[in-house]
Structure 1
Amino acid sequence: MLLNINTEQWQLQWQQADAELAVVKGQSISASVWRKDIAAATHWLSEQDGDALLYHRDWYHFSVWLFALLNSKKRIVLPANDKPATLSELSLHYSFRVPSELPQHASSEAPPLTLNGSLNSQLTFFTSGSSGKPKAVRKTLRQLWLEVITLEQTFAEQLGPANILSTVTHQHIYGLLFTVLWPLAARRPVTLPLVDYPEQLQQILAKANRQRYALISSPAHLQRLDNLPQLAKYSHSLATVFSSGGPLSNSVPEDFAEHELNAPIEVYGSTETGGIGWRRRNPGSNENFQTLAGVDASCNHNGLLVIQSPYLNNPQKPYTTEDKARLQGQGDFQLLGRQDRIVKIAEKRVALNEVEQFIQRHDWVESAKACVLHSPRVELGLVLILTPEGVNQLSTQGRFKARQELRHHLLQRFEKVVVPKRFRYVQQLPYNGAGKVTQTDLQALFEEE
């Protein structure tokens, strides 16, 4: 590790001034150029007051401004996106936004081999939650660096000197940790730009030669990998795959195993908690999560997972998650789904989790999400990803008969008045940049006739 931490300070140190930092479309970027750009950005920030909003799609520009802000001891606000409505909602949280372009620097200046700063530097993330309204979550750099150290201790053997590929944004805590802080601290180059399509991943692996890659991804992307037979030809170039941000469908580890690829490493946690546990569902392995080092797990009287963790704002205080769990032994636990999201339909209480889990028992349904619709009346809507059999039945029988069949299945468990009447069939669920599916995004699918 190139990262050193003492009581109040962190330090990144390079032994080689021109060590490879990133690879952009085949062109290497050195750490010395990166540090020069940080020095110039730090100088620009010396004339700015207040908290800074940092949003940049480009990994390199983002990383330069991030470390310039940390060196300048500025508090950093990280929005999920830069849509006008988002920035308007967050306007009270920041004083200025960093420029999209980097300042010019004097080429004759020799950049320092060491970057350092305070562990108390604060970053504010925004999660959409179930309602879609941004919720501020503040973290210190100490929490993030401690998690980076744990990730390296846990997964260094699987990664080795692999280059990092990513499908996820660095604006969220998962992407920030796995594609910015961890690679820089462990000196693993990041290959850019982001991988948006399965074909891009295949092309990179095909040209890998002896280079190995680690893919940082999400359930939404991994469920769209329809070229696993082709990727299997280059399995020697794919060191490992990480997934986080939401539950990974059972079909993904099964598909990886069918094509003799190691299943993704699933990392469970949240913006509030940081990483909690991990698992890899290869053939013959169980489905339990193992806690990350330093995390203690228990369950309360409602069956909800309770943790104590160095990645929390208060490491000594137990934190109750919204996930049901069953402890399976020392440090192992099984997730049983989110705690019931209870809503009222026609004065009847119904749990959205229960509706989703029951419809998924039908042979036609791969996965499902329920939402509350308010127009023209208050009722439930169901957004479904169908199995191949379900797709065939929908095509041959039509929407009316398919809906009748699915409603008949639901009527075996639920009263008629609460059973959804409106269905949407999609190829993928509307995950946001954080890998979450919000009620707002689900409801939007029913507004499109």
Structure 2
Amino acid sequence: MTGVDIEQFSFTRLLNGNLDWTVIFSADHALSWSQIRRHIFLLANKIEQSEFNCWILASDSPRFFLVGMLALIVAKKEILLPPNNLTGTLSETIQGAQAMLTDLDAGTNLPVFSLAEIEGEPEYIEISIESDAQFIQICTSGSSGEPKQIRKSLATLETELRCLETRWGALVKNKVAISTVSHQHIYGLLFRVLWPVMAGRAFVEENVEYPEQIPSLAKKYGELILISSPAYLKRMADVLDKDVMQNMVKVIYSSGGPLLQDTAIFYAEHFSLTPIEVLGSTETGGIAYRQQKAQEEVLWHKFDEVQIRRDSKNGVLSIKSPFCFSDDWYAMGDEVELMSAATFKLLGRLDRIVKLEEKRISLDRMETILSQNELIEQAKVTVLTGHRTILGGVCVLTEVGTQLLAQLSRREFSERLREYLADYFDRVTLPRKWRYVADFPYNSQGKLTQAELTRLFDEEPHD
């Protein structure tokens, strides 16, 4: 099924619809919408009989996740998505949760309902979803690692899905979505699961963990859309199959952080495929998009539905958007320069301006300068608190850097980096601790939190 009217992008239309198409490719078989819808209504009939209103939904499978989410919507329950599906997380009490819908061994004290297939035939009834009055709560750690619960209406999701189809519907039509990111967070939820289903397209159930999966998926399912993150795209650039990427992967989306310009240019030059970057957050939904080009600083272009403004005092970006959990202007943590009414340049996060020894330091600028050194492939700088506040540097080394580190002690190597930075920053502000890693500890969404960076400094490294 293709060509769904954008104005019909709604949960009511989807769940009442009797059209059929292949919606999920799972292992060696395909699942039709009628099969998925049957499972949804059987599960909804069971959930409706319960007394619980607020449900945790947890599944590693986007197929079962979709079934569970839509069953809870049919049953008019509120949905709560945990930040991850790890046993420790699911065993904790999440504020407001009364029951759990899962196919995992959760180890929780809450009543647990199974997502597994149910025998029988459901009672299909005409349903009307009051999308302004039904909500989904998304637990997110944010950049600091502190958990937050963001409550968004189904109407907010529907509006953003209509925006995506308006912007890129013709580009992705008749193509199958594959993904390296989890469906448990807003980016994966929208791009990997809900958008394909609303538009009458299909997605692949299995996660793309390794580059060699992509040729196999292309052979099975034809032209593909890759839903990914900056971390994956950078890590896998050199080992992806050039022929498949050029001929079978038609669109790449990237979110979770800015994509390095070198990585974007590599994909454009080697695969004739420039990733579409989407800027946004759990709180705001999508804000803007861009496609980077060689020798050119590409601006972020806001979505038509989003309003933007810059605070005259601190330069922070504020947005007002129908995709946002708040109806009011919402201040982001990013300093920007507005280039027009619709475009802007990101200058860095305000929470990455720190004060050390009475001196203001931009961690973003320090990372950029470090990454320009021939020894450093990528660098992150983080604040370490304790007896005194200092900076810590975490670096992925180039081949030259790796060879030099093998010849010197860690202390000598680190001192070379400090000497290099001393040309740009006051010595009292330079990183005092260093860690050298093969890759940064990104989470499943391709994000790098303050907590994960700080954890690298819990133990002293060994030479």
Taking structure 1 as the reference length, what is the TM-score of the superposition? Answer: 0.90
Q: Give 2:41's aligned residue.
A: 39
Q: Give 1:72's aligned residue.
A: 75
Aligned-pair CA distance for 1:414: 2.8
Identity of aligned residues (%): 34
Aligned-pair CA distance for 1:163: 0.2
Q: Does 1:60 align with 2:71?
A: no
Q: Does 1:197 align with 2:210?
A: yes
State the superposition RMSD in angstroms.
2.7
Q: Give 2:168's aligned residue.
A: 155
3-state SS in 2 of match to 1:92? coil
Q: Give 1:329's aligned residue.
A: 340
CA pair 319-379 structure 1, distance change in 2 beyond 3 A: same
- The aligned runs of 1:15-414 (5 Å cut-off) are 17-46=19-48, 47-87=50-90, 89-100=92-103, 101-102=114-115, 104-109=117-122, 116-120=128-132, 121-205=134-218, 207-208=219-220, 211-228=222-239, 230-283=241-294, 286-301=297-312, 302-315=314-327, 317-343=328-354, 345=356, 350-374=361-385, 378-414=389-425
Q: Which amino acid aligns with 1:269?
A: G
CA pair 373-13 structure 1, distance change in 2 beyond 3 A: closer
Aligned-pair CA distance for 1:59: 0.9
Aligned-pair CA distance for 1:245: 1.0
Task: Show CA shifts across 1:109-145 (max 9, x none).
Answer: 5757x76522121111122123312111111111111
Report how many aligned residue pairs link the two structures: 445
Aligned-pair CA distance for 1:397: 4.2
Task: Show CA shifts across 1:346-402 (max 9, x none).
Answer: 666544334323323323223222223346764221111223433343344453332
CA distance in 2, matches of 1:422, 1:225: 29
CA distance in 2, matches of 1:189, 1:440: 36
CA distance in 2, matches of 1:286, 1:344: 29
**Is the 1:198–1:226 Cα contact (8 Å) retained in structure 2?**
no
**Is the 2:371–2:377 Cα contact (8 Å) retained in structure 1?**
yes
Task: Show CA shifts across 1:46-81 (max 9, x none).
Answer: 124130001100111110010011111111110121
3-state SS in 1 of match to 2:256? coil
CA distance in 1, matches of 2:11, 2:35: 24
CA distance in 2, matches of 1:9, 1:166: 23
**Is the 2:381–2:393 Cα contact (8 Å) retained in structure 1?**
yes
Q: Which amino acid aligns with 2:414?
A: R
Aligned-pair CA distance for 1:146: 0.4
Unaligned runs of 5+ in 1: none
CA pair 155-398 structure 1, distance change in 2 beyond 3 A: farther
CA pair 258-2 structure 1, distance change in 2 beyond 3 A: closer
- Alignment counterpart, residue 12 of structure 1, candidates 5, 11, 14: 14
Task: Show CA shifts across 1:184-203 (max 9, x none).
Answer: 10011111201011121233
Aligned-pair CA distance for 1:16: 5.9
Aligned-pair CA distance for 1:421: 2.3
CA distance in 2, matches of 1:218, 1:90: 30
CA pair 303-234 structure 1, distance change in 2 beyond 3 A: closer
CA distance in 2, matches of 1:125, 1:16: 30
Aligned-pair CA distance for 1:106: 4.4
CA pair 307-378 structure 1, distance change in 2 beyond 3 A: closer
Taking structure 2 as the reference length, what is the TM-score of the superposition? Answer: 0.88
Aligned-pair CA distance for 1:417: 3.0
CA distance in 1, matches of 2:118, 2:11: 26
CA pair 423-202 structure 1, distance change in 2 beyond 3 A: farther
**Is the 2:172–2:251 Cα contact (8 Å) retained in structure 1?**
yes
CA distance in 1, matches of 2:147, 2:184: 14
- Alignment counterpart, residue 417 of structure 1, candidates 410, 428, 435: 428
**Is the 2:7–2:162 Cα contact (8 Å) retained in structure 1?**
no
CA pair 45-154 structure 1, distance change in 2 beyond 3 A: same
Task: Show CA shifts across 1:404-423 (max 9, x none).
Answer: 21110122233333311221
**Is the 1:340–1:353 Cα contact (8 Å) retained in structure 2?**
no
Aligned-pair CA distance for 1:309: 1.2
Q: Which amino acid aligns with 1:222?
A: L
Aligned-pair CA distance for 1:258: 2.7
